[in-house]
Structure 1
Amino acid sequence: MYACLCKYLRPCLFLLVPALLAVACSRIDLAYRNLDVLVPWTLNDYLNMNRQQKTWLNQRLKQHLAWHCRTQLPGYLTWIDEVRQMVASGQVTEQQLQVRTQQAKQAIAKVADQITPSAAQLLRAMDDEQVREMRQAFTEDIRERQAKFVKTPLARQIQARAERMEKRLTPWLGELSPQQQVRIMTWSQGLGEQNRQSIANRANWQAHFSEAMEQRQSASFEPRLEQLLKNRESLWTPEYRQVNQRAEREARRLLVDIMAQSSEQQRQHLEQKLSQVRKDFSQLKCMQG
Structure 2
Amino acid sequence: MPAQLIRTLVLIVGLALTLGACTRIDLAYRNLDRLVPWSLGDYLDMNRQQKALLDERLKDHLAWHCKTQLPGYLDWLDKVRQMVADQAVTDQALQQRTAEARLAIGRVAEAITPSAAELLRDMSDAQVTEMRKAFSDDIAERQKEYVDTPLPRQIEERATRMHKRLKPWLGELSAVQRQRVMSWSQALGDQNREWIANRQAWQQQLLLAMDQRQTPAFEPRLAQLLQDKQSLWSPAYRAAFDNTERQARSLLVDLLQQSSAAQRQLLIERLGKVRQDFSQLKCLKG
TM-score w.r.t. the length of structure 1 is: 0.95
1:206 aligns with 2:211: no
1:28 aligns with 2:25: yes
CA contact (8 A) 2:7 2:162 kept: no
| C-alpha displacement of 1:4 | 3.1
| C-alpha displacement of 1:7 | 4.6
Equivalent in 264, 271, 274 of residue 274 of structure 1? 271
Counterpart position of 1:132: 129
Alpha-carbon separation, structure 1, partners of 2:173 and 2:47:
46
Deviates more, 1:182-191 or 1:20-29: 20-29
Q: Secondary structure at the match of 1:262?
A: coil
CA contact (8 A) 2:121 2:214 kept: yes
Give 1:113's aligned amino acid: E
Q: Secondary structure at the match of 2:208?
A: helix
| C-alpha displacement of 1:26 | 4.0
Equivalent in 215, 219, 234 of residue 218 of structure 1? 215
Counterpart position of 2:99: 102
Name the count of aligned residue pairs: 286
Counterpart position of 2:244: 247
Equivalent in 12, 15, 22 of residue 14 of structure 1? 12
Deviates more, 1:63-72 or 1:39-48: 39-48
1:145 aligns with 2:167: no
**5+ unaligned residues in a row in structure 1: which ranges?**
none
Equivalent in 41, 52, 63 of residue 60 of structure 2? 63
TM-score w.r.t. the length of structure 2 is: 0.96
CA contact (8 A) 1:14 1:104 kept: yes
**Aligned pair in 2 of structure 1 residues 2, 223: CA closer, same or farther (>3 Å)?**
closer
CA contact (8 A) 2:142 2:196 kept: yes
Give 2:251's aligned amino acid: L
Give 1:4's aligned amino acid: Q
Alpha-carbon separation, structure 1, partners of 2:243 and 2:249:
10
Counterpart position of 2:166: 169
Counterpart position of 1:4: 4
Alpha-carbon separation, structure 1, partners of 2:2 and 2:172:
16
Alpha-carbon separation, structure 1, partners of 2:220 and 2:207:
15
| C-alpha displacement of 1:54 | 1.1
Alpha-carbon separation, structure 1, partners of 2:8 and 2:82:
24
Alpha-carbon separation, structure 1, partners of 2:231 and 2:23:
32
Q: Secondary structure at the match of 2:46?
A: coil
**5+ unaligned residues in a row in structure 2: which ranges?**
none
| C-alpha displacement of 1:8 | 5.0
CA contact (8 A) 1:5 1:251 kept: no
Alpha-carbon separation, structure 1, partners of 2:209 and 2:6:
27
**Aligned pair in 2 of structure 1 residues 7, 232: CA closer, same or farther (>3 Å)?**
farther
CA contact (8 A) 1:18 1:38 kept: yes
